[in-house]
Amino acid sequence: MIDKNVASCAEAVSDVFDGATIMIGGFGDPGVPGRLVEALREQGATDLCIIHNGAGGGDFSLGGLIQDGRVRKLVASFPSGTGSTAFRERYLSGDIELELVPQGTLSERIRAAGAGIGGFYTPTGVGTRLAEGKETRIINGREYVLELPLHADFAFIKAHRGDRLGNLIYRLAMRNFNPIMATAGKQVIAEIEELVPVGELPLEEIHTPGIFIDRMVEVPRLPQLFAPPKRGAAT
């Protein structure tokens, strides 16, 4: 019987190696696998390349990992949030490299990696600083820039409910980058809030089929981070 569940976040991230490239899901707080990232801080791997929409906040999760000096490079669309103090400090001192990518291009490059696409042409960025040095091409009268897939050794994602096969459901805006990062990491590790028996997740509502998931760990939702949804439609 296949059971992708592991006992702890520490076990889930135990094989992350120095120099690894790691995708971290989430946008703002929703969908960030914060406990996995905290376990990675404990685990010790360093010289990491992180792919995430922002640069984390405060000294928890990605913010803490950056503050600890463990991140060599960040690939992000919006690392300039006011809360991203650790990144700001290390970026301004030249201690971290930044690859700035428009958000839609970031998401599409991740999807391309997961879908076996070798590259794609997007209009986004043509004629701007973010396309400088990149190959462009006119197709049907419109100019596009060639963008390449973003692969990762590991993807850390977060979901609301999951079963032992790795089938996952996200809640509300927790979804964001998580389903596409789940397709793009060589090893995909899911932090889930609730493990349920196989067959309990409604078939047609499963957002991420288990095929994409290598390991998962149940981290019950913290009560102080939870307020009940306000509208019937929202659950």
Partner 1 sequence: MTLTRNGIAYRVSLDLPKGGYVNLGIGIPTLIPNFLPEDTDISIHSENGILGVGPMAEPGTEDPDLVNATKEFVTLNPGATIFDHALSFTMIRGGHITHAVMGAIEVAANGDLANWSAPGEKVPGVGGAMDLAFGVQHLYIAMTHVTSKGAPKILNACRCPLTAPRCVQRIYTDMAVMDITPEGMMLREYAPGLDPEAVQEKTEPRLLVADDCRPMEIPERVNGVRLVAETAAS
Give the integer Cα–Cα distance in Å for 121 and 22: 25
Q: Does 139 bind partner 1 (CB under 8 A)?
A: no
At 216, list the tokens: 């998962």
Size of the site for its own copies (CB under 8 A): 31
At 124, list the tokens: 């986004």
Residue 2 contact among partner 1, its own copies, none, beta carbon within 5 to 8 Å by kind: partner 1
Identity of the residue, 5 or 167, whose beta carbon is nearer to its own copies in the bound complex: 167
Size of the site for partner 1 (CB under 8 A): 76
- Interface region with its own copies, contact rule CB under 8 A, candidates 1-9, 16-24, 63-71, 137-145: 137-145
Q: Does 123 bind its own copies (CB under 8 A)?
A: yes
Q: Does 137 bind its own copies (CB under 8 A)?
A: yes
DSSP one-letter code for 179? H
Q: Does 120 bind its own copies (CB under 8 A)?
A: yes
Identity of the residue, 2 or 203, whose beta carbon is nearer to its own copies in the bound complex: 203
For residue 146, give every residue at least 6 positions away whose Cβ sits within 8 Å of its Cβ, in sequence order, or none: 119, 120, 121, 134, 135, 136, 137
Residue 137 contact among its own copies, partner 1, none, beta carbon within 5 to 8 Å by kind: its own copies
In the window 2-31, what residues touch partner 1 (CB under 8 A)?
2, 27-31
Cβ–Cβ under 8 Å, residues 130 and 101: yes
140-145 long-range contacts (CB < 8 A, ≥24 apart) are 145/121
Cβ–Cβ under 8 Å, residues 48 and 192: no
At 189, list the tokens: 């590790």
**In whole angstroms, what separates CA 60 from the centre of its chain?**
16
Amino acid at 17: F
Amino acid at 53: N
Q: Does 183 bind partner 1 (CB under 8 A)?
A: yes
In the window 95-124, what residues touch partner 1 (CB under 8 A)?
98, 100-105, 107-108, 111, 113-117, 122-124
Q: Does 88 bind partner 1 (CB under 8 A)?
A: yes
Site map (CB under 8 A) of partner 1, residues 192-211, x = contact: ------xx---xx-xx-xxx
Residue 20's closest CA among 140, 156, 135?
A: 156
Identity of the residue, 39 or 84, whose beta carbon is nearer to partner 1 in the bound complex: 84
In the window 59-118, what residues touch its own copies (CB under 8 A)?
108, 112, 115-118
**In whole angstroms, what separates CA 215 from the centre of its chain?**
15
For residue 84, give every residue at least 6 positions away whose Cβ sits within 8 Å of its Cβ, in sequence order, or none: 54, 55, 56, 57, 63
Q: Does 220 bind partner 1 (CB under 8 A)?
A: no
> What residues make contact with its own copies under the rule CB under 8 A?
108, 112, 115-123, 137, 139-140, 142, 144, 148, 169-172, 199, 202-205, 207, 232-235
